[in-house]
Structures are given as C-alpha cells and as structure tokens.
Chain A
C-alpha cells in the first residue's frame, strides 16, 4: 500500500485497518491560496527578498559545512539518527503510551488531539481554566501548523511570540518563511522599520546594528516574561523512557517561557517521541550542527513533568496527530515524519533560495515542506489543490538528501508524490490524452499525420517560439514548464527529403576522417 487514498476509509470492521485521515481541509496553515508556480512567480519578482535570502542561505551553508565537517563520525551519526527515527515509527503506539505514563507519573497531564482544531480547543480551554487572557509563546512549528495564535485570538487570548524572528513576523502581521529563521526574508533595515512602528515606547534613535535590534527585543519582552502566567511551547524531543521533554533554542526566550510561568502547555506532534534518553547523544549532535551550524546551540532545556520549587507547577502535554498517522500509513511518505526541523534542506535548496518560503503556502517550506505538507494535508482537498503543485517545486538535484541529518531521501519522496498525484489524476483529460498519444505512437502512419498537424501549432506559439500555457488537457504540463512550439518539419520528413539525404552523406564522409582514427591502437 503506497498511498493512504485506498478504499477502506471509515473502517468500522473489527480488525480491518482503516486509512487515517489527513489534516482537515480548510484548517491551519498547511495549504496556500495559490499553486507554487503562481506564488513563486510573484516572489521571484521581489529583488529585495532574493538578495536577503541569497545572503542568509550562503552564510549558513558555509557554517553548516564547517560544523559537520569537523566531526569524523558525522556519517555514523546520520546513520544512527535515521535508524532511531525509523525504529521509533515502527514502535509508535507503545512509545506514545510509555511517554504518556511517564509524564503522568511526574505530575504532568497528557491530552490527545486528533487534529489541529481539537488541539487549539484544548489549549484555549486550558488557558481559560487558569483565568488568564495572555500567553507567552516559544517558537513552535506545531502551533504554527495548527494556527493556534489565531484561534486564541478568537477566544480573547493574546499570544506573545518571544523568539526574535517570530516576534518580527508577528509585529509585521507577516507569515513565517523559514523553519528556523521565520523572518529570513527580512533584512536589518526592514526589521528596524517594523520595530519603530510596532513596539510601544521604543527609542526612535534605534539603528540597524543587529545587536541593538536584539537589545530592543530584550527590553520589550522582559516585562512580558516577568508578568505572564501561562506559556505555550512546542518540543524538539519527547523521551518515552523517562517522560522528559526538550526544547532546543538560542536566545533564552525558551528558558524564560519554560521556567517563569505557573502553567506550561506543550504541543508536540506524535512523531517527535524518541525511545531512550540515550538517543539524545545522537540528536544533540545532529540538530545544532545542521540547523545553525553551531557545535551546540546556546540553550537546551529538559524537563520531566513538574518539579516542586522549580518552574511551572502545572504542566500539560498535548499530543497532536493532524495528518501524521496518514503519513505513517504511506510506505514511502512516512520517512518525512523523521524530520527534526533543522532546516538544512531549505538552506541548500536552489529552488528555496530563489523563491523563499512563502511560495510553498505551508508553514513547512522548502524541500521537506514539499514532501511533508502533502503528506499531512493531502494533495486533493479540492480541485487544483495548491498542495498538488508542491512535489514539482524541485529540480531533484539531491542537495537536500545530502544535507539531511536523518538521511530523508527527499528526491525519492518527491518522485513518489508526483506518481501519486498523476495516479490520482489518471482519469482526467490529461490522463486520457496520454493514452491517446501512446496509441498514436504505436502506429507510424498515424504518427506522421499527427506530426504534420502539430507543425501548425507554430502559428499559435509565442514570439520566442514557446507556449507558456497550453490549453486543457495539457495545462497540468505547462504549469511548470514552457513548451517549445513544434518544428515546421519533423525529423522524419526532413530525413526523407533531398536535403536530409545530402546531409547524412556528408556526415558519413566526415566520419571516415575522424581525428580519433589517427590515434594509436588501444589508447
């Protein structure tokens, strides 16, 4: 079974496994409004964005190579990381139950959420139960994915993003464009403008020195850290063996949120569980070196349930499905669940470097986003689902596979998704046209006649001799490529002509005097 789009859907029969559902259509941030080619077309026109991205990804690529090249056992670490993840997926039911038991043993409460809507409701209810109307947020992909901030706002709860880049995105009313550095599309001048406009009481003399911009954020958030009673975080790892959760960060905003509030709510995708505490010895090497290109990130926090006298005394863990089980049911696609969100694949991707993250429409952009997003949310939620264009947002160059610390074969996953997409669209006009083409090619007379007719297409082609958009049923093909106009004369008819015969005779004569003929035997 390669695709969770097969027949059994509701599966109420005893013992008959049912295909798990994708993230519900129309919820969260796993689907853009436009298809990738259209969105990318606009983003490519933004020169400032391309300059910002080019500069940032160039510098991080160099740092990552230094940090990974420094370890003689980097490949062995990748092998271990990949195997631990594959083993985790195989044992997910028992590991999740073990994690739940251990967290509960240490005074935490575990909640389960079938999808993002349910997770949002759980978090909002937990916040309301504390009697508070504001929460601190630690940067978290899971809560971005489910649109938690928007839901909290609709419930009258204010969410303060505390990661510098998330703060920039939030203050600008913008969307994140990178897994690690959500504001990578902004340069220092733009960030200064955003701060001057949005931070109350900020020094109007603020300049564009990154250290000064960071200091401005420190001053703004300090008071929020000291007074806000509830925090919401994600988790990088959840250790089944001990019930320990971990957040990896740089700025200390994570430590603030995990330590100072009275209540902590952590939203974690079910695939983030790890079997053993010992496994951290692998991932604490793989993640920082792949992510920021550092030997170790400045701060990592680990906590197990509740510790009297230290940190939040009320701890909730929300375990989120939201399409992850649908991905797990896919023999090939499930590898996308191994992702540890380091973003190395974004930084090495020639497509991402030019289009930026927004073109992908999902909170997970870049190569991993192009495979993870369709796995979580599907590609056929509607006619012309924007997600169905994501598997084609790649040249399959393979740089992402080489960079991935857990060896996710992203190019193969992309090809598999393309296959699934065309399989699903097999009965469309495009599919029928392909069948018709096959029939014609089998019969030489029909083929010659068809070629003659195609020659007429030149009349319709653009000035540069290409079609940028073909009519239905071939528009799927032309979405991502230009189609050259058919030649005035086919090769077969040229070869049969007097001109063709003369050219072939000349080439044959040339061949007898080939320079290689003068070379000594066996060289």
Chain B
C-alpha cells in the first residue's frame, strides 16, 4: 500500500528531526507585558498613533456618542449607513439619514451601495494605533460589513484600549473571525511610498468614548 501524502510528510518531518540534533529550547519572554498606563496617557498615545496613520479621531463622553457619530456622518455627506444587528440603536438617534441593519442574507455587492458603516470594537492597542474587531460580536458584525463600504466609523471605549500588543492580544477570543485595523487601507507598493486608500475603507473615523 502506498503511503498518503500526510503519512509521507509527517514521516519526513520525524526523519529530519532524527537526523539532526536539536537541543531543547527555553523561550525567553523578557519583552514588556502586562503594562498599564493611566487613562490620559493611554488616550494621548492611542490618538497620536491613529492620527499618524491618517485616521481621524473624535473624543468625548458616552452621552455624546450619538451626536459625535451624526456629526461625522454629516461631514462625509453619508445618507445610507449600515450597522451590525447588535449595535446599540441609541447611537444612531441623532443621524437623520437611512440606517440599514446588516444580515448575512445581503450579498456583499449590496454593501457597496452604502455610504458608510458604524460599528463598535472589541479591543485596541494604544502603542500601535490598532483596533481589533471581533466578527463574532453582535455590535461589530460580519467582516464584509466593515470592508466593502468606503467609510468606517468605529466607536472605541477607552476602557478597551490596552497599552501594548501583548495586553491587547490577551483579550481576544482566538476562534472568532478577527480583523486588526491600523488606519485606513494603504499600500507601499509604488517605490515603497505609503499611499492611503486602496481596497479597504479609504476613510477611518474613530470615536473614542473617554468614560466607557
């Protein structure tokens, strides 16, 4: 009987290890973990990094959530806006345009007709200016929703902003579909010069709620 590819590859790996000495390795994790900065410092760092990557930042208390979102949408002339099914309906009460609640039945090209999308977020990392979206969370929705429309308004609670990458990764739920976003889409493919705006949303507006 001939061996399957699986058996062959695994046998080769075992043979390779048997043929080469490979001392056991201790993994030194001396890099910084478990950091926590005071709210003000975390906010300043996160904002600095977001702006550096051409995201726009709006900061305010949670009772201004609806007002801040409406302001941003108005500024972009957005009339039809998509939201995930679990988004707090109170967030869109100040917006006078059309709000469409996403569902898996809507084919992705249908999302192209939206002027923008408003979602919450799971975790953020201040040091890198990264927002982590959890596709399994009802207020963040399926991945296509935050990808196809050209404008993404993302609400971040300051309490969910961690200082560094290790602290943020530790808060993720690994088996959910996860998207890490650091600024709007960009490319460095032409002469290694960074250009914002390729296939993902060309505009990223971040609404940070300082008391949430």
- Which A residues are within 8 Å of any B CB, using their own CB? 1, 4, 11, 17-21, 52, 55-57, 59-60, 72-73, 76-77, 79-80, 83-84, 86-87, 89-90, 92-93, 96-97, 106, 111-114, 118, 162-165, 168, 181, 183-184, 187-188, 191, 210-211, 213-215, 217-218, 221-222, 225-227, 239, 241-244, 250-253, 255-256, 258-260, 270, 277-278, 280-282, 284-285, 292, 294-305, 307, 309-311, 319, 321, 325-326, 328-331, 334
Contact = CB atoms under 8 A, between A and B. Distances in A.
Interface stretch (B64-72, B92-100, B179-187): B179-187
- Shortest 7 CB-CB contacts between residues of A and residues of B: A252-B200, A252-B199, A329-B16, A325-B12, A328-B16, A251-B198, A309-B104
24 contacts: A4-B19, A56-B192, A73-B30, A73-B31, A76-B28, A77-B31, A96-B9, A162-B199, A164-B190, A210-B193, A211-B197, A242-B175, A244-B174, A250-B187, A251-B187, A280-B169, A284-B169, A284-B180, A295-B127, A296-B125, A298-B185, A311-B144, A325-B13, A325-B16
A114 B13 CA distance: 11
B182 A83 contact: no
B38 interface: no
B22 A89 contact: yes
Contacts, number: 280
B130 interface: yes
B75 interface: no
Contact of B108 (A106, A226, A278, A331): A226
Contacts of A280: 169
B190 A214 contact: yes
Nearest to B166: A281
Interface in B156-194: 165-166, 169-170, 172, 174-194
Given A17-B15, A113-B5, A294-B182, 6 more contacts: A80-B27, A213-B190, A242-B175, A251-B200, A304-B175, A334-B20
A165 B189 contact: yes
Contact of B199 (A183, A191, A218, A297): A218
Interface-central residue, B108, B177, B193, by most chain A CB under 10 Å = B177
A510 B129 CA distance: 68
Interface-central residue, B20, B49, B104, by most chain A CB under 10 Å = B20
A187 B121 CA distance: 38
A213 B193 CA distance: 12
Contacts of B20: 1, 328-331, 334
B143 interface: yes
Nearest to B3: A114
A164 B187 contact: yes
A479 to B, nearest CB: 30
A305 B28 CA distance: 31
Nearest to A183: B189
B37 interface: no
B6 A83 contact: no
Contacts of A188: 190-191
B199 A210 contact: no
Given A328-B17, A331-B21, A244 B175 contact: yes
A226 B191 contact: no
A307 B177 contact: yes
Given A20-B12, A251-B198, A331-B21, A285 B165 contact: yes
A98 B28 CA distance: 24
A221 to B, nearest CB: 7
Contacts of A260: 108, 144, 147-148
B10 A96 contact: yes
A322 to B, nearest CB: 10
Contacts of B174: 239, 241-242, 244, 277, 302, 304
B4 A112 contact: yes
Nearest to B135: A310
B10 A97 contact: yes
Nearest to A163: B189
Nearest to A329: B16
B129 A295 contact: yes
B125 A60 contact: no
Contacts of B14: 17, 93
A134 to B, nearest CB: 16
Interface string B44-55: 000001000100
B195 A299 contact: no
Contacts of A96: 9-10, 13
A312 to B, nearest CB: 10
Given A1-B20, A298-B53, A218 B198 contact: yes
